[in-house]
Amino acid sequence: MRMSQVFGQTLREAPSDAEVASHKLLVRAGIIRQLGAGIYTLMPFGKRATDKIERIMREEMNAIGGQEIFMPVVHPADLWKETGRWYKIGDEMSRFRDKNERDMVLAMTHEEVVADLARKDIQSYRQLPRLIYHLQSKWRDDPRPRAGLIRVREFTMKDSYSLDADEVGLDAQYRAHYQAYFNIFHRADLPVVAVLADVGMMGGSMAHEYMYLTPIGEDTLLICDNCGYMANRQIARFRKPAADTEDLKPLEKVATPQVTTIEGLAEFLAVPPSRTAKAVFMMGTFMENNQDYQRLVFAVVRGDMELNETKLANAVKSKELRPAHPEEIAASGAVAGYASPIGLEKEQILIAVDELIKDSPNLVAGANETDYHFLNTNYGRDYEAHIIADLASAEEGAACPDCAAPLRTRRGVEVGNIFKLGTEYTAALGATFLDKEGREHPIIMGSYGIGSGRLLQCVVEEHNDEKGIIWPITVAPYHVHLVALRGGEEAAERLYKELAVAGLEVLYDDREESPGVKFNDADLIGNPIRVTVSARTLKEGAVEIKLRQSDERMPVPLVDAIQKVLEARERLEETIAGTVVPVETDF
């Protein structure tokens, strides 16, 4: 491709709303252009790089037995109503009606469609296992799109779906994807870790997220360097300190004027925060008979810990949680800042306590009266809960649940996920098979996804410098950036054609621009191998070859240029191929 003919242009300055390096570079290098909030066009360079990422995905899916299909982006809402997700998912799902007034859905994901295909096409165990996948646009009306392709509303995903007769088959397909996903990321030269994750709206029994560790990530991970435990904070377990052992003391009300925080309470009473009970009020949205209703949720954790809202939502089985409003708290009989479950009517609220609360004696808690707290509150004697569960958030330095070593936190971007769905969708839609004895069973599903656009941007976030992008050879828009300077145009024209014949992808800068502009654009766009032809190099019968990842410039005889470029490409490819290795699993 000649740069004089490329659609789009490079920019000297990044857009004012771009906050992270990769977003700035993708715009400046002419890789993407924004159409609306969370909606982007892939420009020619971006499309080429994305096509290569998606080719890697296809190769790895085919290698584990995947068959590519293509499913619609518009779904009849009846499918989503059958599984119940029409009612469970909020505003992120875009709903509309067609001209016949039928409810329709813009696809967020395709579990319903796959289960529908399975109930139509699979009848016998002889047709299992199966693995299908597709690459297709999806839409999630995210209220907070940010950072370019990191968090968008419209995006392309590779999602695959496994269909099995039993859990053993699901386990095998899950493990195959676990490895295949590492292969995909390593072939794109992106370092990732796999962490245990919340199943979220997908449901199922197990999930792993593939995380690119970076400060720009929105997810917080808990990592143990001693034993390798890793999990998203949303579900991360940790070894909680043992509660004190002592006799239960009588309940005693004490005045605590204008003391409404745990920190203030601990200071006022001269007790550690671990001797207090923290009250947190949330308003939960629940569903019964496909109708939403709201109920106040009163969560209690020890004062030295923080509530984990994802754990709470999972424990109480709510669709959504939000902080309760003051009037909602007051309506329950509780007093904000001085609250405890003591004396409250359990029928009006849903009480959930962290597992450590029931074993911690004589805690200080609110008296549900302004300016007063209780000393020596005890679970079981003074109040009871509807639910006891792990509700506390794992923090930096918490004890690893497996080996007790200190956990550390890292930020990360989720670039892929895998789920053991089980029969949640197939049972709802009646997708069954007959076993050898003629008995009917629901098909067992798994779901596995990678967003190609987010992966593209994470590669750029990982591989860049102050001059621009440094593309890995496997996903670069072009292998070679050929630069013709004054006096080298005729030789560069011949070399351009010869490089293409040799099977190399070449971006040829044939523009009438200064050397500085051409070199700056070459560094900004970031193709791995730069070849410069000028009057100066030709006087020596040579061209100049430079790798984008290095400052070294190598004069090479013109007659050897093609062979040297091929060798450079091969070395770059071999380096990346060496990172594709088997990974251990602990599940």
Q: How confident is the model at residue 206 (pLDDT cuts 50, 70, 90)?
A: confident
Global pTM value: 0.91
Q: What is the pLDDT of residues 314-340, one digit of tens each?
A: 999 998 899 999 999 999 999 999 999
Compute the average pLDDT of residues 208-234: 94
Compute the average pLDDT of residues 84-111: 94
Record: fold of 478-577: Rossmann fold (3.40.50)
Per-residue burial over 309-321, b = 16 or more CB atoms within 10 Å of its CB, e = otherwise: bbbbbbbbebeeb
The fraction of the chain above a pLDDT of 70, given in percent, is 99
pLDDT given at position 313: 94
Is residue 201 scored above 80 in pLDDT? no
Q: Where in the chain is the domain with CATH 3.30.930.10?
A: 46-229+409-461
Compute the average pLDDT of residues 536-554: 96
Residue written as token pair 């962490």? 195
Tell me how far apart the alpha carbons of residues 570 and 12 are, in angstroms, rounded to a whole number: 32
Question: Counting Cβ atoms within 10 Å, is residue 82 exposed (0-12), middle (13-18) or buried (19+)?
Answer: middle
Q: How confident is the model at residue 202 (pLDDT cuts 50, 70, 90)?
A: low
pLDDT given at position 88: 87
Q: What is the CATH number of domain 46-229+409-461?
A: 3.30.930.10
Q: What is the pLDDT of residues 422-477, one digit of tens each?
A: 999 999 999 999 999 999 999 999 999 999 999 999 999 999 999 999 999 999 99
Is residue 200 scored above 80 in pLDDT? no
Q: Where in the chain is the domain with CATH 3.90.960.10?
A: 252-389
Query: What pairs with residue 104 in β-bridges?
Result: 76, 96
pLDDT given at position 152: 97
Nearest one of 412, 458, 415, 417 to 49, comparing CA atoms: 458
Q: What is the pLDDT of residues 484-511, one digit of tens each?
A: 999 999 999 999 999 999 999 999 999 9
Tell me how far apart the alpha carbons of residues 391 and 308 are, in angstroms, rounded to a whole number: 6
Compute the average pLDDT of residues 155-171: 97
Nearest one of 194, 247, 239, 261 to 450, comparing CA atoms: 194
Tokens of 223: 């990592």
SS3 content of the chain, % helix, strand, coil (to 5): 30, 30, 40
Q: How confident is the model at residue 128 (pLDDT cuts 50, 70, 90)?
A: very high
Whether residue 474 contacts residue 576, with contact meaning beta carbons closer than 8 Å, is answered with yes
Q: Where in the chain is the domain with CATH 3.40.50.800?
A: 478-577
pLDDT given at position 363: 97
Nearest one of 459, 509, 514 to 481, comparing CA atoms: 509
Q: What is the CATH number of domain 252-389?
A: 3.90.960.10
Q: What is the pLDDT of residues 384-418, one digit of tens each?
A: 999 999 999 999 999 999 999 999 999 999 999 99
Per the prediction, the chain carries an average pLDDT of: 95
